[in-house]
Structure 1
Amino acid sequence: MRYLPTAPSEDRALLDAIGVQRAEELLVGIPESLRLNRELKLPGQLSEQEVLAELQGLANRNTAFTARFLGAGAYDHFVPSAVDQMISRQEWFTAYTPYQPEISQGTLQHIFEYQTLMCDLTGLEVGNASLYDGGTSCVEAALMAVRLQKKKNTILISQGLHPHYQEVLCTNITPHEGLKLVVVDLKDGVTDLEDLKAKLNGDVAAFLVGYPNFLGCVEDLGAIGELAHAAGALVVSVTQEALSLAWFQAPGRAGADMACGEAMSFGNRPNFGGPFLGFLTVKDAQKREIPGRVVGQTKDLDGATGYVLTLTAREQHIRRDKATSNICSNQGLVALRANIYLQLAGPEGLQGLAAQNAAKAQFLRERLLELPDFTAPFDAPFFNEFVTEYKGDMATLQAECAKEGILPGLDLSPYAANLKNRILWCATELNSREQIEHLVEVLARVPSVVA
């Protein structure tokens, strides 16, 4: 959106048109005690050259990492220049939902293509667009499961679900009177099937489980599905690293009834925390309860292929009390980047990228475990993330890495008492062998700490 300043004469004309002498008169509905009554503390006016120099100075205060081994829900992947070039076309820059198909065919087509690609990757039949991120996609999947599973009021979530996703679920589910969230314990880095079996009962609508989970471990969706389905519950797989869908069996073919999660890895950069791209795919029989935008393919009067919004009524966006969801902004631009990225890569290219991620993570883990202060607490299969236990001082490790321009893995200590001294590492196609060897060399110099 452009900023269009007004001249004093234009301000005067606007005030005269609405019949007031001063702009402050428009604040009569706000008590005097709540008004600022002073000028904002903003810096003085600067020239463009001075502003650019100021911003560069602020940017220079950031630590410039030359190697990154941090994932945990936001992954640093290579983004081809073609993605940036193609989305730079001005007509894409809108968050408006394409209600009018006669003027929105391009937008509708790319959303339809994105939905189709996500269905291919997840092994399910219907996908949507416009979910904000992985956390909110979990909320929408959970609430959808409750609508589908009438009279069931309990949602089970694996302790291995991303902690931030768990917080978003708690925030959004708690206000719904009668709904309950129950956490299922982990065992050896994956869902404890005995605990899951004990907590499955006739009130459980669905079980949400990471695939892979927050610790990087791959869950057995087949075994989970057998237990859940026998108890009449749905299984929702939650994938925080979308590229893993090109490496493991599609969740829809492994036992999941719904698949949701975070797709920012496809053509989008972490960008200091967003924007992200939530996704949700479901079985065909469940499609009428799916939230967000769903684009369908049809034929016009002349028999030409056309695209339209389908299934969702306007009540979804206007009569909020009747809506299945209150999603109102369109994540279309972020989904477009994913669409372009996936079509540039193609099936073989995507599998090749996934293979690189898996191989580099395996190599990183092997090299770390050669160091005396690192051990492996879990043996479950993983994709590009894994956990190590560290005997040394975490702050010293982080400081030594920062000196060398290395962003190490995530310190898991703040997330749970049983994760103290554990680090979640990630390796993607951007991590070269030289970077991994440099990391190991730096870690080898960090002194051990005797407890």
Structure 2
Amino acid sequence: MRYLPTAPSEDRALLDAIGVQRAEDLLSGIPESLRLHRDLNLPACLSEQEVLAQVQGLADLNTPFKARFLGAGAYDHFVPAAVDQMISRQEWFTAYTPYQPEISQGTLQHIFEYQTLMCDLTGLEVGNASLYDGGTACVEAALMAVRLQKKRNTILVSQGLHPHYLEVLCTNITPHEGLKLVVVDLKDGVTDMDDLRAKLDGDVAAVLVGYPNFLGCVEDLPAISEAAKTCGAFVVSVTQEALSLGWFEAPGRAGADMACGEAMSFGNRPSFGGPFLGFLTVKDAHKREIPGRVVGQTRDLDGTTGYVLTLTAREQHIRRDKATSNICSNQGLVALRANIYLQLAGPEGLAGLAARNAAKAQFLRARLLELPDFAAPFGAPFFNEFVTEYKGDMKALLASCAKEGILPGLDLTPYAPSLKNHILWCATELNTREQIEHLVEVLARVPSVVG
């Protein structure tokens, strides 16, 4: 919201129109004993130039990176200038939420298009307006599965799910009495099918599995779906890198009943951690339980195409005890950027971009494995992320990369004992051959651990 200062004469005119002498008279409902009768203890105001200089000084404290090889849920992709330009068009401007279709056609249209695109990418029939991020999308999918699978109270979660998503799940599932989260082990970087089959029973509502998972490995969705169907459980695919949907089989066509995850890779920037863009798509038979809003296309009496809120849980605003979710807003601007990006790319462009990501990651992995201190712990297929085991000095590696302006992959040591001295690397279309070769040169100079 912009700050719009007013002149004293304008303040006087406003007070006269209201019918009071002073602005303080508007506080008459607050007892005198509760009012602050002194100025706030704040520093003196600065000029615009001084504020900008101070903010720039804070920005200069950041470490600038010329090359980035970090993903793990937030991915740095090229965003065409057309995306920034097109989101400023006035068709998309509307106040608050699009309840009144006659004045919200622009917003409703772009949400409808976004939903349609996400359904195309995931191979499912219905998508909602959007969710806050990948973690909350997991929560909504899990709770939706429990509502649909009446009297089933267990949710199986693959250990390959993003650990932050798992934390959000635990936080939101715990208050629901009777619901249980059960973690399924990994084997060679993917869900252990024997452990999954052992934990599947008639109380399991859904199985949540990364696609690709947190370690970059691609799960066998058809095999997981076949196992889950034997006891009637839903399969929920969770995708943290949405660009992979331009490379792999759509989860809905690979056996998933729901697809959710994070779509910020489409036309949005990491921006120090957000905003993000959660997505959720489901089969048509389950649309009545989907949280948030669903925009539909229709025609008016004159035959003109129009857009309306087809499904929206009014209980969220009136009878809150009956609400399917606390989701009552959507990431409209972030979803608009994704919509524009996807339409600019088109099916062939998106597939080509995904192919470039896969090729860059394959090249990066091959070059790293030529170094004596690096090894490949997993053999599963991957998209643009993969894990290497590192036998050298991790602190020295991080320091050497920072000195050269390189943001390396994620040290997985804090996430699990079995991942000690493992690094999760990511390569996107922004990583040039020169950057990869420079990284390898820097890593080759890092001293090995002796003894």
Which band: TM-score by shorter chain?
A: over 0.9
1:171 corresponds in structure 2 to 171
Deviation of residue 207 (structure 1)? 0.4
Are positions 1:347 and 2:347 aligned together? yes
Whole-angstrom CA distance in 1 between matches of 2:332 and 2:101:
15
Q: Match of 2:112, SS?
A: helix
2:206, 2:236 within 8 Å by CA — same for their partners in 1? yes
1:200 corresponds in structure 2 to 200
Against the structure 1 CA distance between its residues 220 and 98, is the aligned structure 2 distance closer, same or farther, given a 3 Å change threshold? same
Against the structure 1 CA distance between its residues 93 and 168, is the aligned structure 2 distance closer, same or farther, given a 3 Å change threshold? farther
Against the structure 1 CA distance between its residues 315 and 55, is the aligned structure 2 distance closer, same or farther, given a 3 Å change threshold? same
Deviation of residue 390 (structure 1)? 0.6
Amino acid in the other structure paired with 1:48: E
1:95, 1:330 within 8 Å by CA — same for their partners in 2? no
Deviation of residue 197 (structure 1)? 0.6
Deviation of residue 4 (structure 1)? 3.3
Amino acid in the other structure paired with 2:178: G
Instruction: Within 5 Å, give how 1:144-183 maps onto structure 2.
Output: 144-183=144-183
2:269 corresponds in structure 1 to 269
Whole-angstrom CA distance in 2 between matches of 1:380 and 1:342:
28
Are positions 1:224 and 2:224 aligned together? yes
Against the structure 1 CA distance between its residues 392 and 49, is the aligned structure 2 distance closer, same or farther, given a 3 Å change threshold? same
Deviation of residue 318 (structure 1)? 3.2
1:450 corresponds in structure 2 to 450
Whole-angstrom CA distance in 2 between matches of 1:214 and 1:375:
18
Q: Match of 1:236, SS?
A: strand
1:53 corresponds in structure 2 to 53
Unmatched runs of 5 consecutive residues or more in structure 2: none
Q: Deviations over 1:38-85 (max 9, x none)?
A: 83444x222222221111111111111010000000000000000000
Whole-angstrom CA distance in 1 between matches of 2:348 and 2:323:
40
Amino acid in the other structure paired with 2:365: R
Whole-angstrom CA distance in 2 between matches of 1:277 and 1:292:
14
Q: Match of 2:275, SS?
A: coil
1:290 corresponds in structure 2 to 290
Q: Deviations over 1:84-132 (max 9, x none)?
A: 0000224535572211111111111111111111111001111111300
1:391 corresponds in structure 2 to 391
Deviation of residue 31 (structure 1)? 7.5
2:210 corresponds in structure 1 to 210
2:250 corresponds in structure 1 to 250
1:130, 1:327 within 8 Å by CA — same for their partners in 2? no
Amino acid in the other structure paired with 2:424: L
Whole-angstrom CA distance in 2 between matches of 1:312 and 1:208:
25
Bigger mean CA deviation after superposition, 310-319 or 55-64 = 310-319
1:129, 1:294 within 8 Å by CA — same for their partners in 2? yes
Deviation of residue 30 (structure 1)? 9.5
Deviation of residue 36 (structure 1)? 12
Against the structure 1 CA distance between its residues 21 and 69, is the aligned structure 2 distance closer, same or farther, given a 3 Å change threshold? closer
Q: Match of 1:275, SS?
A: coil
Q: Match of 1:271, SS?
A: coil
2:64 corresponds in structure 1 to 64
Deviation of residue 243 (structure 1)? 0.3
Amino acid in the other structure paired with 1:312: T
Against the structure 1 CA distance between its residues 105 and 94, is the aligned structure 2 distance closer, same or farther, given a 3 Å change threshold? closer
4+ runs deviating over 6 angstroms: 22-26, 29-32, 35-38
Whole-angstrom CA distance in 2 between matches of 1:336 and 1:20:
41
Q: Deviations over 1:170-193 (max 9, x none)?
A: 111111111111111101100001
Q: Match of 1:212, SS?
A: coil
Q: Deviations over 1:281-322 (max 9, x none)?
A: 111111111111101111111122111111224223333211
1:109 corresponds in structure 2 to 109
Whole-angstrom CA distance in 2 between matches of 1:195 and 1:268:
37
Are positions 1:374 and 2:366 aligned together? no
Instruction: Within 5 Å, give how 1:113-124 maps onto structure 2.
Output: 113-124=113-124
Against the structure 1 CA distance between its residues 437 and 252, is the aligned structure 2 distance closer, same or farther, given a 3 Å change threshold? same
Deviation of residue 5 (structure 1)? 4.0
Whole-angstrom CA distance in 2 between matches of 1:101 and 1:287:
21
Bigger mean CA deviation after superposition, 321-330 or 399-408 = 321-330
- Report the TM-score, using the length of structure 1 for normalisation: 0.94
1:216, 1:382 within 8 Å by CA — same for their partners in 2? yes
Q: Deviations over 1:311-340 (max 9, x none)?
A: 224223333211111112221111110000
Unmatched runs of 5 consecutive residues or more in structure 1: none
Whole-angstrom CA distance in 1 between matches of 2:23 and 2:46:
32
Whole-angstrom CA distance in 2 between matches of 1:350 and 1:96:
32
1:134, 1:262 within 8 Å by CA — same for their partners in 2? yes
Bigger mean CA deviation after superposition, 237-246 or 288-297 = 288-297
Against the structure 1 CA distance between its residues 368 and 36, is the aligned structure 2 distance closer, same or farther, given a 3 Å change threshold? farther
Whole-angstrom CA distance in 2 between matches of 1:393 and 1:28:
64
Whole-angstrom CA distance in 2 between matches of 1:328 and 1:445:
53
Q: Match of 1:77, SS?
A: coil
- Report the TM-score, using the length of structure 2 for normalisation: 0.94
Deviation of residue 6 (structure 1)? 5.4
Whole-angstrom CA distance in 2 between matches of 1:210 and 1:301:
46
2:292, 2:329 within 8 Å by CA — same for their partners in 1? no
Whole-angstrom CA distance in 2 between matches of 1:182 and 1:40:
51
Whole-angstrom CA distance in 2 between matches of 1:164 and 1:82:
32
Deviation of residue 396 (structure 1)? 1.2
1:359 corresponds in structure 2 to 359
Amino acid in the other structure paired with 2:333: L
1:312 corresponds in structure 2 to 312
1:428 corresponds in structure 2 to 428
1:260 corresponds in structure 2 to 260
Identical columns (%):
83
1:138 corresponds in structure 2 to 138
Whole-angstrom CA distance in 2 between matches of 1:396 and 1:16:
70
Whole-angstrom CA distance in 2 between matches of 1:224 and 1:281:
19
Bigger mean CA deviation after superposition, 434-443 or 44-53 = 44-53
Amino acid in the other structure paired with 2:184: V
2:291, 2:313 within 8 Å by CA — same for their partners in 1? no
Deviation of residue 3 (structure 1)? 2.0
2:316, 2:322 within 8 Å by CA — same for their partners in 1? yes
Q: Match of 1:310, SS?
A: strand
